[in-house]
Structure 1
Amino acid sequence: MPKGQSLRVSAAAAAELGRQAAVAGTPGMMHLDLMEGSCERWSIRLRPGHLAGLPVARADGITLYAPAEQSALLAGLSLDYRGDLSGGGFLVRQGEGVRCCACGSAFSRIGSGRQATQ
């Protein structure tokens, strides 16, 4: 995981990732991959375990893995988690060169447009 090239994970997101990994029987390991978004180019999908790829973030006892070909798209992003009585969800926070949708669940690289490829 090269310095400065990784995804940043908030304490709240790390806690929820750790909880989900433990419930799934894969303590300390979660997998992230990018899917086609609806309001922006990319949407993040999180699943328990180390399915494939490289570590892109480590925080509070959790390691987040992603496909190697998607790691450059994750650079500079911040992953947060917000929960309340009616539920919760992971949010992508804007960083340099990143535009997020209003709901916080999808993002685009500025200048990449909808036609950008992995």
Structure 2
Amino acid sequence: MPKGHSLRVTAAAAAELGRQAAVAGTPGMMHLDLVESSCASWAIRLRPGHLAGNPIARADGITVYAPANQLSLLTGLSLDYRGDLSGGGFLVRPGEGIQSCACGAAFSRGTEGRRPI
């Protein structure tokens, strides 16, 4: 993994990532990339497997890969998972200089600001 990149994956997120990867037939491998969001600059998109990119995080038997050109945007973020009886979802926990959207799945860095809805 590249030094200096610090996407953190919580135990709850690692467990759900591992479950999704196993169901998809790619145990231990998930791909994360960023797509434009309507409520903030970026939203996460998770897909099973090693589609392309570099390993950016390892936790509890799962390796998360991301495109090399998005590594700087992922630094300082934590990926969490919350589930309840009505379902669940991955959440972005912001670090210093990062603002998360009310939905929890989107964020903006520094002066990017929020996109108009």
Aligned to 1:98: 98
3-state secondary structure, aligned to 2:38: coil
Question: Could you give the per-residue CA deviations for residues 59-105 of structure 1, whole angstroms, max 9, x where no partner exists?
Answer: 00000000000011000000000000110000000101110011101
Aligned to 2:51: 51
Aligned to 1:40: 40
Scaled by the length of structure 2, what TM-score is found?
0.94
3-state secondary structure, aligned to 1:92: strand
3-state secondary structure, aligned to 1:38: coil
Q: In the alignment, is the contact (CA less than 8 A) between 2:39 and 2:114 conserved in 1?
A: no
Which stretches in structure 1 are left out of the alignment for 5+ residues?
A: none
Which is further off, 103-112 or 84-93?
103-112
Identity of aligned residues (%): 80
Aligned to 1:17: 17
Scaled by the length of structure 1, what TM-score is found?
0.93
Check if 1:88 corresponds to 2:106.
no
Give the counterpart letter for 1:75 in structure 2: T
State the 1:2 CA deviation: 3.2
CA distance in 1, matches of 2:69, 2:114: 18
3-state secondary structure, aligned to 1:2: coil
CA distance in 2, matches of 1:22, 1:79: 19
Aligned to 1:69: 69
State the 1:114 CA deviation: 5.6
CA distance in 2, matches of 1:23, 1:99: 32
Q: In the alignment, is the contact (CA less than 8 A) between 2:6 and 2:76 conserved in 1?
A: yes
